[in-house]
């Protein structure tokens, strides 16, 4: 099975976990997109749900496919969020934000009673950190914020290069109007300590460590789906 076929398969299985009447958080990324396409088929067949998208990109796709949407202002509490991930460890801790939507993804997941993570098996890791950790920062005082991130990381035993994410020659701008720094730490032995240290920096808006948010994971591999 190729990578796209695995995404389609897991998207299909995830869409089957959605019940009529659900208030749904809808993730961002290529795996989440496969889920959205499968969900749209179920909506066409009569499934009644309302979704809160985690990015403008997901919102556009949902609208194109006829999935009813609302906002967290209208519906501040959700039943289930289904989203992809860049890494997941054995304790269901995640690194997310490869697609740059981590802030809205985290707000939506936090507003949800449950979060189902969908990914292919390559995203499963022993220790988080091989995937560069996305950190969303305010555009004011970038250099000071980068220095503060380096210092904070050092205090919890991690180090690595920080790269401002770009789209071509321009900085990548998130849906919230912020910047993203990708922190290549290699290995994050204590994600909770790093999370707290990053949250203490005023220029950091949010980071891609999702701790205590995922309640279950479905991983697609060549031999099928593991849960
Ligand atoms: C976007 C995300 C995505 O869920 C993550 O990057 C995984 O994407 P993909 O399913 O394309 O591998 O966190 O901000």
216 and 188 both lie in a single domain:
no
**What's the pLDDT score for residue 143?**
98
Does 226 qualify as catalytic in the annotation? Answer: no
Q: Give the pLDDT band (50/70/90) at residue 224.
A: confident
Which residue has the CA at smallest separation from atom 3 of ligand 1? 29
Residue 138 structural domain: 133-205
Ligand 1 neighbourhood includes 86 CB (under 6 angstroms): yes
Q: Are residues 101 and 163 in the same domain?
A: no
pLDDT tens digits, one per residue of 41-65: 999 999 999 999 999 999 999 999 9
Q: What distance in Å separates the CA atoms of residue 100 and residue 115, rounded to the nearest whole number?
A: 19
* pLDDT higher than 90, residue 222: no
Query: Would the pTM count as exceeding 0.80?
Result: yes
- ipTM score for this prediction: 0.98
Residue 99 beta carbon below 6 angstroms from any ligand 1 atom: yes
Share of the chain above pLDDT 90, in %: 95
Given a cut of 90, whether residue 203 has pLDDT beyond it is yes
Higher pLDDT, 223 or 190: 190
Nearest Cα neighbor of 25 from 13, 12, 39 is 39
| Burial state string for 29-55 with b = 16 or more CB within 10 A and e = fewer than 16 | bebbbbbbbbbbebbeeebebebbbbb
Residues 117 and 151 both lie in one domain: no
Task: Give residue-wise pLDDT tens across range 142-190.
Answer: 999 999 999 999 999 999 999 999 999 999 999 999 999 999 999 999 9
**Residue 151 and residue 119 share a domain:** no
Q: Which pLDDT does position 223 carry in this prediction? A: 83
Mean pLDDT, rounded, for 71-93: 98
What is the predicted pLDDT for the residue at 187? 95
Residues 178 and 215 in one domain: no
Residues 105 and 217 in one domain: yes
Q: What is d(CA 30, CA 37) in angstroms, rounded to the nearest whole number?
A: 11
Structural domain count of the chain: 2
- Residue 28 alpha carbon to ligand 1 centre in Å: 6
Task: Work out the pLDDT band at 129, boundaries 50, 70, 90.
Answer: very high
Q: Which two tokens stand for residue 138?
A: 């305010």
* 13 and 101 inside one domain: yes
32 Cα nearest atom in ligand 1: 10
Three-class SS state of 34 = helix
From 87, 105, 136, 206, the catalytic residue: 105
The H-or-E segment that residue 90 falls in is none
Judge if the beta carbon of residue 180 lies within 6 A of ligand 1: no
For 1-20, what is the mean pLDDT? 94
Atom of ligand 1 nearest to the CA of 102: 14
Is residue 227 domain-resident? no
CATH code where residue 187 lies: 3.30.70.260
Residue 134 has a pLDDT of 98
CATH code for position 59: 3.40.50.1360
* Residues 116 and 157 reside in one and the same domain: no
Q: How far apart are CA 93 and CA 125, in angstroms?
A: 10
């Amino acid at each position: 099975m190729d990578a796209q076929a695995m995404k389609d398969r897991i998207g299909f299985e995830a869409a089957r976990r959605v019940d009529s009447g659900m208030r749904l958080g809808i993730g961002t990324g290529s795996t989440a997109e496969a889920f959205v396409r499968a969900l749209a088929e179920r909506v066409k067949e009569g499934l009644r749900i309302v979704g809160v998208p985690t990015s403008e990109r997901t919102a556009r796709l949902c609208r194109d496919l006829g999935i009813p949407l609302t906002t967290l202002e209208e519906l501040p509490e959700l039943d289930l969020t289904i989203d992809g991930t860049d890494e997941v460890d054995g304790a269901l801790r995640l690194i997310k934000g490869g697609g740059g939507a981590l802030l809205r993804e985290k707000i939506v997941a936090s507003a949800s009673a449950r979060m189902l993570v969908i990914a292919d098996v390559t995203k499963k890791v022993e220790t988080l950190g091989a995937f560069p950790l996305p950190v969303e920062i305010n555009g004011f005082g970038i250099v000071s914020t980068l220095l503060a991130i380096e210092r904070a990381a050092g205090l919890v035993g991690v180090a690595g290069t920080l790269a401002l994410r770009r789209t071509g020659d321009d900085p990548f701008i998130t849906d919230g109007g912020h910047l993203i720094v990708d922190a290549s730490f290699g290995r994050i032995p204590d994600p909770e300590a790093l999370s707290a240290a990053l949250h203490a920096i005023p220029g950091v808006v949010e980071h891609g460590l999702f701790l205590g948010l995922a309640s279950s994971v479905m991983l697609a591999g060549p031999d099928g789906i593991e849960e």
